[in-house]
Structure 1
């Protein structure tokens, strides 16, 4: 199974599944966009097996391009793992202190973010499409974690996953104005006079939001794989019936 492994140390495990021609439905991980739910469940079970987890350890959200987040407890274990109906409703970010729970995020061009907090052991997963970015879901979540959970920002380590590149993310003026209104995204935007389109780097805008939350730049990594260009990428912009990547993170249980 094709997976970009981002973190695998003594405490944390994180990565992102990629398109795979040898897997059912090209390794689609999303029950909300699939031809055969059993194929998706087969892919999820294979991932769980590869990572040393069970399917029941997954926690999934019903993503709606919101700025809403949910604190996952042990009681949430398994939500959305086998049925889309049980996924946590209208939520685009999850975080938890619990070990052996695999937090997930689904994307096909949108920016996935996974992170951990070294001192407290808190982990999280964010889905930030352009709508989530202009709603500042990542910044709002980190501000919440600082204020409500007492997390020191210098202790966060962030991985931004594969997403649509700036070259391929072309938008009209309405979307451009939403990014410009943020006040800090101008350097991540250019205008193509030939096409009359604006090109936005959503990954670097999300990175900037992490930095604005106080996270050191050196602790923010980015996978610059373009989901549109790469043969390993699912791209909604390229194919409206595209499958989805799953980004994931878990805290390992103490031995």
Structure 2
């Protein structure tokens, strides 16, 4: 069953991680992903663009963020994000960091693609137009995290780095961490070349792993130096190798390229488009 459920008749387009929200105590957990509709941005960022770096009018981005935060029971001052660079780096978000990046790029966590916190009232966010959003939640410690995983972040091991950060900073037990993989470009649409595959192959697993988990689930060789790459599955396996139980990982069926009417897609939109946001946070008691 699809874990990211489209919310109908809402002012802002949202896809909510319903099983997590239902399973959290007192309904305090907010987790999900935005669509492309329900904002104020004009073409080609129409309409719920949530990122400053694409060239949109900053005031439109701020209004879009305000709408999403308010719909989730947070404020714009709670919105906290990083300046993503397709790295494997993870930042620890403390109480004094609340709101970093909400109004401009300069105040965001620089050179950061992963964020973790255990502070209630902070809304972690990150931005996408085909890359893979990764979600982490430890019910025992109430630590939460987000990671932005394009192919570069994936091969940099950001999924494993998130688990390590939660373990070292909050004492999380990897076997108790819940993880989810959100809407992103699927293997049906994500064609890469030998340059990318050379890096991916360096990551791909020991001979024993290959026997138990055939690489055909991670990529298909089309010939002539072209491959269809399944970043969702690769990140799922990295999570498992980091100690997260397979039964604790939920994976979307949404492809941002196939569903370009609902999502921004860098590839489908020709490189000039808006950005969706992932979000996760624990509401204050």
Same fold (TM over 0.5): yes
Residues 56, 240 of structure 1: alpha-carbon distance in 2 compared, 3 angstrom cutoff: same
The offset of 1:23, in angstroms, is 4.4
Indicate conservation of the 8 Å contact 2:116/2:165, yes or no. Answer: no
Residue 13 (structure 1) aligned with residue 30 (structure 2): yes
Q: Paired residue for 1:213?
A: 242
Residue 47 (structure 1) aligned with residue 64 (structure 2): no
Q: What whole-Å deviation, never above 9, does each CA across 1:157-216 have from its counterpart, x for those lacking one?
A: 1121100111211111111121111123823111113x6411110011111111111111
Q: Paired residue for 2:8?
A: none
The offset of 1:12, in angstroms, is 1.2
The offset of 1:250, in angstroms, is 0.4
Structure 2 distance, partners of 1:147, 1:94, is: 14
Residue 38 (structure 1) aligned with residue 59 (structure 2): yes
* Superposition map of 1:167-186 within 5 A: 167-184=188-205, 186=215
Q: What whole-Å deviation, never above 9, does each CA across 1:124-146 have from its counterpart, x for those lacking one?
A: 01000000001111112212322
Q: 2:123 aligns with which of 102, 127, 140?
A: 102
* Superposition map of 1:6-155 within 5 A: 6=17, 7-9=20-22, 10-20=27-37, 23-24=40-41, 25-155=46-176
Structure 1 distance, partners of 2:39, 2:156, is: 37
Aligned-residue CA RMSD (Å): 1.5
Q: Paired residue for 1:4?
A: 15
Moved more, 181-190 or 81-90: 181-190
The offset of 1:21, in angstroms, is 6.3
Residues 52, 21 of structure 1: alpha-carbon distance in 2 compared, 3 angstrom cutoff: closer
Unaligned runs of 5+ in 2: 1-11
Q: Paired residue for 1:199?
A: 228
Q: What whole-Å deviation, never above 9, does each CA across 1:233-253 have from its counterpart, x for those lacking one?
A: 111122211111100000122
Unaligned runs of 5+ in 1: none
Q: Paired residue for 2:284?
A: 253
Structure 2 distance, partners of 1:31, 1:148, is: 30
Query: What TM-score does the superposition give when structure 2 sets the normalisation length?
Result: 0.85
Three-state SS of the structure 2 residue aligned to 1:235 is coil
Structure 1 outlier segments of 4+, above 3 Å: none
Query: What TM-score does the superposition give when structure 1 sets the normalisation length?
Result: 0.94
Structure 2 distance, partners of 1:46, 1:11, is: 19
Q: What whole-Å deviation, never above 9, does each CA across 1:66-96 have from its counterpart, x for those lacking one?
A: 1111000111111110111211100000000
Structure 2 distance, partners of 1:81, 1:74, is: 15
Moved more, 13-22 or 224-233: 13-22
Indicate conservation of the 8 Å contact 1:28/1:34, yes or no. Answer: no
Residues 213, 241 of structure 1: alpha-carbon distance in 2 compared, 3 angstrom cutoff: same
